[in-house]
Amino acid sequence: MKTILVTGGAGYIGSHVCVQLLEAGYSVVIADNLCNAQRDVVDRIARITGTQPVFYQTDLLDLDGLRAIFRAHAIDGVLHFAGLKAVGESTEQPLRYYSNNLTGTLHLLTAMQEAGCTTLVFSSSATVYGADNPVPFDERMPTSATNPYGYTKVVQERILTDIAAAQPDMSVLLLRYFNPVGAHPSGWIGEDPNGIPNNLMPYVAKVATGELPCINVFGNDYDTVDGTGVRDYIHVCDLARGHMLALEYAFGRTGTDIINLGTGRGSSVLELIYAFSKACGHPLPYVIAPRRPGDIASCWADTTKAKEVLGFTAQLTLADMCRDSWHFICRQRERE
Ligand code: NAD
Ligand code: UDP
């Protein structure tokens, strides 16, 4: 069975993908510097799957550390999740974001090239569709960005495309995620950011637990179903399943391809709050606040290509996402 290097594998999405890789019989090697993850996530992955992944606390900025991993393991392919992802923080610390995300990716590509590893699946984002494309977003649309985080994704897509073009045996798959939410149904892994969350679902979850008093709904005057922002929320376990299909697809081809991973369906902020209040069993207080600068009204995926190329269709609903997020948060609080 193939050995997969998962950069950022202790993080939110990477950990769910590691679970599915191990369950499918892949050997998994995780490289994560733990700048946004806990070490015990690796043990939780083992608890769910019954298999301990190999773990290196390695920074992608440390090229020799990466080289050592490729020397120690015959890596067949790489799933590249490692990166900094907070939009607001990227505006305050652009140098850190460009340095971490771009240099990290360049080092990874260097180590892969030296080791003769030619298959890479990259975590891109719907953010590369920028502010000017009409929904639904399809993979042929021009890319742009509205903040440094988004530009790191646009530039990484460019770097990977250029390198694959110059190296004919290389296979690169750029996966553009929409809004991953939810958690593993076991309640062992999920998303529980420290402090005040930036994203809607973890914020709502903290209001549901009483850690935060009230949800701020950023604008109710958008041209959407109820005036609040619309996003394509996808369950992280569906997203992980998409990666399993994507990896097999990447192994069977060369060149670069781009595929959206979303549900193709948008939900408004108020719809999400309502779905979460049903999941947690009590109403959630919210107030209408000003629009958040840089937000677009609506964002959802054209999923035609994922269906045609990967045979992927998301199966889990917004209710499933809220139920599993709530279950994870409750289990976390019990463990604390
Ligand atoms: P996350 O922060 O939970 O996981 C990223 C992991 O990478 C963390 O465990 C962190 O410790 C690690 N990391 C960061 N920089 C590193 C470095 N230099 N060396 C080694 N490890 C490093 O984030 P996530 O939500 O799991 O996102 C994974 C990927 O998917 C990211 O590239 C992100 O930009 C992308 N993405 C996420 C979303 C989302 O909403 N969560 C949406 C679109 C794209
Ligand atoms: N949002 C909100 N209150 C919050 C966080 C987010 O109303 O505390 C809105 C935001 O304006 C957007 C939607 O929820 O319309 C999803 O925001 P998130 O940050 O989760 O994802 P992104 O905007 O990056 O797609």
Residues of the chain where predicted confidence (pLDDT) is lower than 50? none
Measured CA to CA, the distance from residue 80 to residue 273 in angstroms comes to 32
Instruction: Specify the pTM.
Output: 0.99
The 3-state DSSP class for residue 309 equals helix
Q: How far is the CA of 97 from the centre of ligand 1 (A)?
A: 12
| Residue-level pLDDT at 336 | 87
Atom of ligand 1 nearest to the CA of 177: 43
Residue 194 pLDDT: 87
Enumerate residues 6+ apart whose C-beta is below 8 A from 214.
Answer: 207, 285, 286, 287
For the stretch 198-248, pLDDT in tens is 999 999 999 999 999 999 999 999 999 999 999 999 999 999 999 999 999
Q: Hey, is 64 helix, strand or coil?
A: helix
The whole-number pLDDT of residue 312 equals 98
Q: What is the pLDDT of residue 282?
A: 98
> Beta strands of the chain (E only): which ranges?
3-7, 27-31, 54-56, 77-80, 119-125, 171-177, 179-181, 215-218, 230-231, 233-235, 255-261, 267-268, 286-289, 298-299
Residues with CB under 6 A from ligand 2: 179, 198-200, 203, 216-218, 229, 231, 269, 292, 295, 299
Choosing from 12, 26, 129, 149, the catalytic residue is: 149
- Report the atom number in ligand 1 closest to the C-alpha of 85: 34
Residue 14: HSE in the Cβ half-sphere, 13 Å Cα cutoff: 30
